[in-house]
Amino acid sequence: MYSFIAIMWVLILAGGGILVVLVSQISISGYGEQMDFLIASAIKAVIAIVLVVLWIIVLTKLKNKIFQKQIRS
């Protein structure tokens, strides 16, 4: 159970780090100031949503493995 919580925190911190360091630096130019901002924001939002979905999938699979292991013992 504690390993699940530890891995959950690692994923949260890693995801936050990825978003702050890599995704926040994305910028688009050449479509006008307002469109540049809108396109860059949309790309950042899609990346953030994909990361959240991936984290949920990883945690769900991990949770299932941990609890199946506990049920067997």
pLDDT over 70 at 1, yes or no: no
Note the pLDDT tens digit of each residue in 16-68. 888 888 888 888 889 998 999 999 999 999 998 998 898 889 888 888 888 88
- Output the CA–CA distances (angstroms, integers) from residue 19 to 4, 30, 31, 55, 69, in the order listed: 22, 24, 24, 13, 33
Q: What is the residue type of 24?
A: S
Q: Taking the domains of the chain in order of start, what are their residue ranges?
A: 2-72
Token pair for 65:
């493995």
Note the pLDDT tens digit of each residue in 3-28. 778 888 888 888 888 888 888 888 88
Residue 40 has a pLDDT of: 93
- Output the CA–CA distances (angstroms, integers) from residue 28 to 5, 43, 49, in the order listed: 37, 10, 19
Full-model pTM: 0.74
